[in-house]
Copies of this chain bind each other. A is one copy, B any other.
Amino acid sequence: MTIKVAVAGATGYAGGEILRLLLSHPKYLSGELEIGALTGHSNAGQRVSELMGHLPQLADRLIEDTTVEVLSGHDVVFLGLPHGHSAEIGQQLSEETLVIDCAADFRLTDSAAWEKYYGGDYAGFWPYGIPEMPGHREEIAGARRIAVPGCFPTGSTLALLPAVAGGLIVPDISITAITGVSGAGKKGSVALLGAETMGSLKAYNTAGKHRHTPEMAQNLSKYTDADVNVSFTPVLAPLPRGILTTAIAPLVDGVTQDIATKTYRAFYENEPFVHLLPEGQQPQTQHIVGSNMCHVQVEVDEQSGKLLLTSALDNLTKGTGGAAVQCMNIALDYPETDGLPLAAVAP
């Protein structure tokens, strides 16, 4: 039986990344998985060659309009749409379709947080696509609806989870996460021009204003009884892809480097997409570009009494499109690493 896959919002960065990964997926190469409808909004009627020159295999394919009709008849539908529109489409698709949503609509369990950060009606909550969170892989395996997490929450959660769950820190956490410019999406905007972003660094949506803040707290709170307090500072930096997360929190008394290292090793020992770095090395975004990996380091700062957690991932791969394909693999009972590079395109 052939699995037919549609990508809604195919011409955005998340959609393009899902397509890049599917085109090298062993099930696609063997013909078991087929790429069906590619949809867009303003781009409907154009060819892929005009919009995504990096996908020559699909060059002649037409972008169709994003409608429930076009998307019906597929076994898997990836949604790479703006939130709101995503919920609207997602809720109308057949229950048998595997729907994997890259927007924010179904990420938050707390309707008040939704209203505060996104506004409008709360759509509900779907199984949450970080398989590395204890219990989540099992939920995803049985799900027909999956919410792909935000790119910042994935980097922060993977960096912090063993420390929070393992009681290494008081969860009063300061996070500064530095992102490449593709995180802001593919829409014309003066502030995101090459001339404005090359050679520049700036913080934005600071002091609790970034929409990913409640998602981080939600993920970490699930594994501790303590109150999780997150101060989040996102920074835009001049690179196309990649997020480097630095997180700092007070050490619990008695926690040594050895304890911290062992806690992290135990937590991630069977995870194919989390790579704990050897002592003395720090994650570097160059080492994860185009791969589905998250590189993580944990370091005790005795002088200041803090634990420093750092991680690097590709916002479009492990941060969005790769996570979406990873969830598809789990939900379709494919090998989890199928089509997901472990090695990065470096330098």
Contact = CB atoms under 8 A, between A and B. Distances in A.
A95 B19 CA distance: 43
Given A59-B275, A208-B303, A244 B284 contact: no
A302 B308 CA distance: 24
A54 B248 contact: no
Interface stretch (A96-104, A137-145, A195-203): A195-203
Nearest to A60: B278
A178 B201 contact: yes
Contacts of A342: 23, 56-57
A282 interface: yes
Nearest to A288: B54
A201 B237 CA distance: 9
Interface in A11-67: 13, 16, 19-20, 23-24, 26, 29, 47, 49-50, 52-57, 59
A19 to B, nearest CB: 7
Contact of A281 (B49, B198, B213, B305): B49
Nearest to A193: B192
A295 interface: yes
A156 interface: no
A175 B174 CA distance: 10
A282 B196 contact: no
A336 B202 CA distance: 28
Interface string A207-246: 1100001000000000000000111010101111110101
A129 to B, nearest CB: 22
B246 A343 contact: no
B233 A182 contact: no
A262 interface: no
A55 B193 contact: no
Contact of A233 (B52, B202, B248, B345): B248
A337 to B, nearest CB: 9
A300 interface: yes
Contacts of A283: 202-203
A190 interface: yes
A343 B194 contact: no
A206 interface: yes
B53 A285 contact: no
Interface in A292-344: 293, 295, 299-306, 308, 310, 312, 341-344
A268 B306 CA distance: 32
11 contacts: A53-B287, A59-B278, A181-B194, A196-B286, A198-B347, A201-B244, A201-B312, A206-B301, A237-B238, A237-B239, A289-B345
Of all A-B residue pairs in the complex, the 10 with the closest CB atoms, nearest first, are: A194-B197, A200-B286, A188-B188, A207-B301, A54-B346, A54-B344, A202-B284, A231-B304, A53-B287, A181-B194
Given A47-B278, A54-B343, A204-B282, 8 more contacts: A13-B347, A20-B343, A53-B281, A193-B194, A198-B198, A198-B199, A202-B282, A207-B299
